[in-house]
Amino acid sequence: NAGVTQTPKFQVLKTGQSMTLQCAQDMNHEYMSWYRQDPGMGLRLIHYSVGAGITDQGEVPNGYNVSRSTTEDFPLRLLSAAPSQTSVYFCASRALAAPSSYNEQFFGPGTRLTVL
Amino acid sequence: SQQGEEDPQALSIQEGENATMNCSYKTSINNLQWYRQNSGRGLVHLILIRSNEREKHSGRLRVTLDTSKKSSSLLITASRAADTASYFCATDAVDSWGKLQFGAGTQVVVTP
């Protein structure tokens, strides 16, 4: 198993540009999520999905879009990049078990994004 | 706002010593998890403790949970240089089904 993979590893954008961060997992996990990590702030949840076709907002969703057309993939789109979106982005996945999950979350290696 | 708050923010110890870090949170939880992050890498799951558990062990790791005080501690015994990393607590809150909330982390440096 490759686990959770993210591409690209590094990206530099100019203000106003758009791009998509890719995330894929091969563990058949229902739950996938995107976090951003800024110095001294820990990880903040951007968007998450509990299955194909279902997405919801996290703590800091503004400026980002997501979709979940398959179980495996959960891309994050930056619509119009801003310097405030300079950060390290992590994708994560985990299995779900009702009524709540006791399962560990698996993280990708991260994408380091700089917006000039 | 962050659910978990780690203390201390940074910790410097020598090999062989124990490292203790604490996490406080605000709302009722299903479970609390600890993760490690090596510099420039993703987070790795260390241990999960459920709300009805008070203590859990995994190798050199010992986690306690006090739901009445809404706090948890992570103890790393006999530290090694390879334990140098940032450690994060994450809470799976009762009213935030499926969403983990992370604290800002404790940066641990273990010197040989």
Give the nearest chain B residue to A112 (CA atoms). Answer: B40
With residues binned 3-state (H G I as helix, E B as strand, rest as coil), the percentages for chain B, rounded to 5, are 5, 60, 40
> How close, in Å, is residue B95 to chain A by CA atoms?
10
Instruction: List the pLDDT tens digit at each of the 112 positions of chain B.
Output: 456 788 899 999 999 999 999 999 998 998 999 999 998 888 999 999 999 999 999 999 999 999 999 999 999 999 999 999 999 999 988 877 668 889 889 999 999 9
* φ, ψ (nearest 5 deg) of residue A108: -80, 175
pLDDT at A40 (0 to 100): 74
pLDDT at B79 (0 to 100): 97
**Which positions 35-74 of B are in contact with A (Cβ < 8 Å)?**
35, 40-45, 48, 50
- A55-114, pLDDT tens digit by residue? 999 999 999 999 999 999 999 999 999 999 999 999 999 887 655 556 788 999 999 999
* Span A16-39, average pLDDT: 95
* Span A21-48, average pLDDT: 92
pLDDT at A39 (0 to 100): 82
Residues of B in contact with A106 (CB under 8 A): 45
DSSP β-ladder status, B43-50 and B29-37 = antiparallel
Give the nearest chain B residue to A101 (CA atoms). Answer: B98
